Each structure stands twice: as C-alpha cells, then as structure tokens.
Amino acid sequence: MRRVIIKDIGEKKDILTAPFVLEMERTTANMYRLGWDERNGGNVSYLLDEREVREYLDLNRVIRTMPTGFKATELIGKIFIVTGTGKYFKNVQSDPEANLGIIRIGKDGETAELLWGYKDGGKFTSELPAHLMSHAARLRVDPENRVVIHSHPTYTLAMNYVHELDERKFTHTLWQMCTECIVVFPDGVGVLPWMLCGTNEIGEATAKKMEEFRLVIWGMHGIYGAGKTMDETFGLIETVEKAAQIYMLTAHLPRVNLIKDADMVALAEAFQVKYRRDFLDLDEA
C-alpha cells in the first residue's frame, strides 16, 4: 500500500496554547497540589490526534531520536505527549517545554522521535515502556483509550500496608467506602505485588492487568489508571483515593454501618454499569 505524505503547510499555532499541553499542565499541577506526586514521582502519557498536533508542529521535523527500551509494534506512528524523567510536576506549568515532550513511535517500534520538548536534553519518563504496554493493552479493549496516569496517592499507598493485596478484597473494600465507587469503577481494581519499577517486567504485568481493569495498584508504590480522557483517568484515581482515605480514617474504629453488597448491586443496575459480580459477596441461593 502506498504511503501518502501530507506536507505541513502554513504558519503553525503556538504549541504552548495547544489544548493537550494545557491539559498536561493543569493535571500535573493538580496531582502535585494533592500530594500524589512528590519530587519527580509519577508520570503521564497522552495519546494525541495527529491532525490536531499538525496544527502546532511540523511533523516532518524530528529533533532527535531515543530508544524506548520496548518494541511497541502496535503503536508505530502514534504520537504522545509524555512527562519527562527526573522532572517535578510542580514545574510543568512554568516551563512545559523542559518538563514535557511530544514523541512519535518510529517505524521500527523501538525508537521515540522527539517532535517537541525536553529542551534541556532530557527524555521521557523511565516508565515509558509500562505506559506504552498499557496503552496497547487498553486500545485492544477500548479503541478510544488515550490516557495513562501513574501516581502515588497518599491514602491509596497507605492502604497497601494494612489491607490484603488481593484485587477482589481490595476492590470490595473500596466499593464499600463510597456510594459512587461501584459506579465509577465497576470493573474493579487490579493489584500487583511489589515489583522493581522502571522495568519491562512490571510493564508487562501491568499491561496484562489492563486487559480487564482500568486501574492497577502497584503494591507499596502507587497506582496506574487509564481512560479515554484526562478527566476520566484523573477521576478514576481520585475516586479510589477518596475511598482509601475513608478506609484509613475508619479502619481502627468499630464499623457501625456499611454499604451492603445488595445495595451495591442496586446501584450498579440503577446506573446500568457492567460490574464485577464475582467481586461481591452475594447469596446466590
């Protein structure tokens, strides 16, 4: 099949006004403000629409190339805006060009072509392989998936130390904490044990979980979330964190009231969401 190359014609818009850059600025600022991403903790990747990017950048101009450390065959040609390694989320708004980068996955699937950003010679997050694997896994499930966020929400992380790291039990507890939980993440939360971060092994394990969950706990480390939009993905993590906060504030106290499993079923069915019935304790008799 002949490849058609569309030339970039005309004056480009200012990249710093691009909606996807502004979204990254707002989201990373919020995550830092909430205490989810201390120092250079956490990372975000956002799959972009090539037509939209073309309004701001000459896609034929590659600043430099970088090996990704992973062969992302399914993502060849796709463009992402990604937070940089060693970068602090608190600095993204004041200097997005140093703290963010727009990359395209090269024809070999193993190279990132830098189209904009990382102006100080930096590069993408060390967790890029895990992000790319998660994007590929979620796109197979939902072709509209565009965002992967990794962060270290305080109460979610604290809950890891006092609750069994079993995804059925962990999900069930979270669902019991807030009425909205089973509606917001009816597919539940996947859970991984502690693993060495920045490796392809943890990326592969996360991607496997992403085949059935949009949220994956990294034991004693943080959480991965995936979604169609930045708001959806941020909201998923935000809801888990709120539920974990309530759990941690009440775990040492006697439980007088609980949201019953039958109530959660009623909720899920009222909102017409497909929920993990096997994550509930129901009397099938």
Domain count for the chain: 2
Residue 5 inside a domain? The answer is no
Per cent of the chain over pLDDT 70 is: 95
State yes or no: is 238 an active-site residue: no
Do both 73 and 93 map to the same domain? yes
Q: Are 82 and 48 a contacting pair, CB within 8 Å? A: no
Range of the domain at 157: 127-285
Do both 146 and 277 map to the same domain? yes
Residue 7 inside a domain? The answer is no
> Taking residues 16-41, what's their average pLDDT?
97
The one-letter code for the residue type at 157 is L
Candidates 23, 25, 113, 127; catalytic one: 127
Q: What is the pLDDT of residues 110-155, one digit of tens each?
A: 999 999 999 999 999 999 999 999 999 999 999 999 999 999 999 9
Do both 233 and 276 map to the same domain? yes
Do both 252 and 197 map to the same domain? yes
- The domain boundary, picked from 126, 152, 187, lies at 126
Given the structure tokens 């480009």, which residue do they identify? 12
Given the structure tokens 């991403």, which residue do they identify? 37
Do both 172 and 234 map to the same domain? yes
Instruction: Reply yes or no on whether the pLDDT at 216 is more than 70.
Output: yes
Q: Are 57 and 104 a contacting pair, CB within 8 Å? A: no
pLDDT at 244: 98
Q: What is the pLDDT of residues 79-113, one digit of tens each?
A: 999 999 999 999 999 999 999 999 999 999 999 99
Per cent of the chain over pLDDT 90 is: 93
Instruction: Reply yes or no on whether the pLDDT at 42 is more than 90.
Output: yes
Instruction: Reply yes or no on whether the pLDDT at 2 is more than 50.
Output: no
Do both 26 and 167 map to the same domain? no
Residue 254 inside a domain? The answer is yes
Pairing of strands 100-105, 43-48: unpaired
pTM for the predicted model, two decimal places: 0.93
CA–CA separation, 80 and 11 (whole Å): 22
Do both 194 and 247 map to the same domain? yes
- The domain boundary, picked from 98, 126, 154, lies at 126
